[in-house]
Chains A and B, each alone.
Chain A
């Protein structure tokens, strides 16, 4: 197995995630896209770990996973707050900083 195929897969997922972050209206969907990106990072880490036969890749993938979980928790809390104040979870409506 080529290393590249994993890395390219990771790159593809990452770019898709970025597309999603930039494009999606609903905040939760943006969070999901962020999850996509983090998954891509995980694949990269693990691929390199396997390449070097080193547990460090996995260790950091674990850390990323943990942080992703924490981040989703906070993120959804913020989404809830936004929804409560604006009665909409559209990111387009969060434009108080406009101007």
Chain B
């Protein structure tokens, strides 16, 4: 299994390409993009090879319920007192799937960017960042221990920051980059805490702490019941720490995957170039959170007690995210923001799926979503590049583009149908699987949430398509016939009418469209290859978590109907007979209030920026400064002064008077004694004679008495 064993090449090659592009990129004829594309192609080939070998490996496993252990290779880079820190790869079905997705989408985005970013002032740097991002995401995916995952996670956050703020000359872009970084950073508090807790969970179970993921699975499984712990041969770490770890990691997921409360950065991240949005904020980086949840699933499953039908934070947050993301997508004028909120909503689906115990469904949805969402984003990019003069505003600059950009229209349409969950496209199968699992595991409320979300998804995407491709073109193509008009503001080719994009842009679009059509069939009922090939089956740690759920035709039909209903309603509102409802928000106060609430994104941004951050920046910071200056510095000053006083006292009294007094006193006493003693030396002979005689007398008496 050469590809699987050498899967560490997959992140390494883009990392090397990052270094090469950064150092030598400008010297290449195409500004370094060739290096990037070459590297990512190599990684894609390796990832395909790995996938094929893994599938082969799984097919060859013996037995009816075969257990296929992940392939792990690691090196110890630091050890102390029995604790080993390793760096390595852990290849199982999940890693293979996500590797495939990341490399394919990254490759397509690379190709797309050569046309989209042509003439950009930081073209080389852009490709360097794309390579670094690919390498980091792949590092996160193949990691065999939580510490390595942490490194990959942080690096992708860094790349996101760099790429969102690619055109940082304009303040809104750099603000958006900062907002993305800081908001995900808030979630990273949870990640760091969680990773540290994983160390201690393993320490409690195995006696020696480590960050190894397989050990973490076993330790989490051991926490569920003593029988399991005994079977695995380790101690139970106790349910509490697993719960806290799951909660901390949940915070990380909320931040990175744009779940409710920390989702505010994702729409603003659309300030970055569209290929970036497609790669990072649709297909790959934002799913890092979902990937974390799937990778460390036993922690969540046993920590939150998923599977017994009660609500848990994961499912609830996921469910809320589904609804609010979809609601906000209705009031956006910017096409990319619609897609961003759609991404938030779909991520909510994935997290909700994990929360109801539908592991395979979540990953399958991740897999399909990457393709059709990337398709949609790149389609939006194509529209703006060639159709709306680099604008993304649907109401102002788009409309009726169907006749100008037919291929873009078809790829966008198929992507939309896949997203909405229309049979036979990919989204139908993956969304349906989530609903089926939710129902099977007795999470009925979340089935309802999923259906409502499906309705809303279909509706807002119909709105989006209508505003972009139907109706009259609002882009005002009349005025660019005036030569040299605002040609210095916008890049080169805007002076044309809207037209179809060239092959470099369309190629990736068609590939993704193809995937959006086809991949759904991987999990066709009774064919269920996705499940078979990629579901983790290492027995002890995932036992009881994953079980195959049969296809439920009734539920499938219901979800299909709901989706169609959404399309029909939206179409009727915009294009059809429901004109009476147009501008309802202008006429009706309640509707207006509702719309204002939505337009202001539930005032969450207001809450975060003007209340929380302002409070910290204003009074809290001032208070902290006051405390520092007056209390802490005063403690120091008074300590210093006190030390000086003590020092002066010691000098004056103890040293000068005391010690010196003693020393001087000794000298004085000696002197005085000497002065007195020298009086014996009178210089007078007879005095000496007297002393002599007296002494002799004394001796004589003593001798006389002694004898």
Task: Say yes or no: is A18 at the interface (Cβ < 8 Å to chain B).
Answer: yes
Whether A94 pairs with B684 at a CB distance below 8 angstroms is yes
Whether B681 pairs with A21 at a CB distance below 8 angstroms is no
Q: How many A-B residue pairs have CB under 8 A?
A: 30
Task: Say yes or no: is A96 at the interface (Cβ < 8 Å to chain B).
Answer: yes
Task: Report the bound CA distance from A94 to B693 in whole Å.
Answer: 20
Whether B678 pairs with A23 at a CB distance below 8 angstroms is no
For A30, give the chain B residue with the smallest CB separation. Answer: B686
Question: Chain A contacts of B686 at CB under 8 A?
Answer: 21-24, 30, 91
Task: Report the bound CA distance from A3 to B689 in whole Å.
Answer: 30
Question: Chain A contacts of B79 at CB under 8 A?
Answer: none
Whether B693 pairs with A97 at a CB distance below 8 angstroms is no
For B694, give the chain A residue with the smallest CB separation. Answer: A22
Per-residue 0/1 for B654-696: is the Cβ within 8 Å of any A Cβ (1 yes, 0 no)? 0000000000000000000000001001111110011001000
Task: Say yes or no: is A98 at the interface (Cβ < 8 Å to chain B).
Answer: yes
Task: Report the bound CA distance from A22 to B684 in whole Å.
Answer: 10
Whether A95 pairs with B689 at a CB distance below 8 angstroms is no
Whether B681 pairs with A97 at a CB distance below 8 angstroms is yes
Whether B683 pairs with A99 at a CB distance below 8 angstroms is yes
Kindly identify which residue among A22, A24, A97 contacts B683, using a CB–CB cutoff of 8 Å.
A97
Task: Report the bound CA distance from A87 to B693 in whole Å.
Answer: 29
Question: Chain A contacts of B682 at CB under 8 A?
Answer: 95, 98
Whether A99 pairs with B678 at a CB distance below 8 angstroms is yes
Task: Report the bound CA distance from A24 to B684 in whole Å.
Answer: 12
For A93, give the chain B residue with the smallest CB separation. Answer: B684
Whether B685 pairs with A94 at a CB distance below 8 angstroms is yes
Whether A91 pairs with B683 at a CB distance below 8 angstroms is no
Question: Chain B contacts of A30 at CB under 8 A?
Answer: 686
For A19, give the chain B residue with the smallest CB separation. Answer: B693
Docked complex: A25-70 residues within 8 A CB-CB of B: 30
Question: Chain B contacts of A97 at CB under 8 A?
Answer: 681, 683
Shortest distance between the CB of A15 and any CB in chain B (Å): 10
Shortest distance between the CB of B272 and any CB in chain A (Å): 103
Shortest distance between the CB of A92 and any CB in chain B (Å): 6
Question: Chain B contacts of A98 at CB under 8 A?
Answer: 681-684
Shortest distance between the CB of B681 and any CB in chain A (Å): 6
For B682, give the chain A residue with the smallest CB separation. Answer: A98
Question: Chain A contacts of B684 at CB under 8 A?
Answer: 91-92, 94-95, 98
For A95, give the chain B residue with the smallest CB separation. Answer: B683
Question: Chain A contacts of B681 at CB under 8 A?
Answer: 97-99
Question: Chain A contacts of B689 at CB under 8 A?
Answer: 21-22
Per-residue 0/1 for A73-99: is the Cβ within 8 Å of any B Cβ (1 yes, 0 no)? 000000000000000000110111111
Task: Report the bound CA distance from A23 to B690 in whole Å.
Answer: 9
Whether A94 pairs with B683 at a CB distance below 8 angstroms is yes
Question: Chain B contacts of A21 at CB under 8 A?
Answer: 686, 689
Whether A22 pairs with B678 at a CB distance below 8 angstroms is no
Shortest distance between the CB of B119 and any CB in chain A (Å): 110
Task: Report the bound CA distance from A87 to B650 in whole Å.
Answer: 61
Shortest distance between the CB of A13 and any CB in chain B (Å): 15
Question: Chain B contacts of A91 at CB under 8 A?
Answer: 684-686
Question: Chain A contacts of B683 at CB under 8 A?
Answer: 94-99
Please, could you name 5 A-B residue pairs with CB atoms under 8 Å apart, sorted by A? A22-B689, A95-B682, A95-B683, A95-B684, A98-B684
With A21-B686, A94-B684, A97-B681 given, name 6 new contacts (CB 8 A).
A21-B689, A23-B686, A24-B686, A94-B685, A95-B682, A97-B683
